[in-house]
A = this chain, B = another copy of it.
């Protein structure tokens, strides 16, 4: 292995977590799928009640990770669990992409 190839390999591994963390959902598709979220989190992800998080402008990868955590029971919340129970992987990525694309207020 030459030094340049070796360095590239190290760089690739260093960047891998960032790359894989980006879910890459479709914000437009997510907007439709996120209708059910609006009651608590607001249509644009700016929730009015201070006990519910603002989702607008949050990192897409973080949002997707949390939705999966609620779905899979890793993060336990009696309100969120049923809301996300039937979401597919694509649904989750799209919803996360939609709220990440919104402007926090």
Q: A42 vs B104: C-alpha distance in the bound complex, in angstroms?
A: 17
A50 vs B22: C-alpha distance when bound (angstroms): 7
For this complex, into which size category does the number of interface residues on chain A fall? 20 to 34
Q: How far is the CA of A47 from the CA of B76 in the complex (A)?
A: 24
Number of copies of this kind of chain in the complex: 2
* Interface membership of A39, Cβ < 8 A: no
Q: What CA separation (Å) do A34 and B2 show in the bound complex?
A: 44
Chain B residues within 8 Å of A61, by CB: 50-51
Q: With A75-B75, A104-B104 known to touch, is A50 a contact of B59 (CB < 8 Å)?
A: yes
Q: Which residues of A contact B (CB under 8 A)?
A: 17-18, 21-22, 47, 49-54, 57-62, 65, 74-76, 104
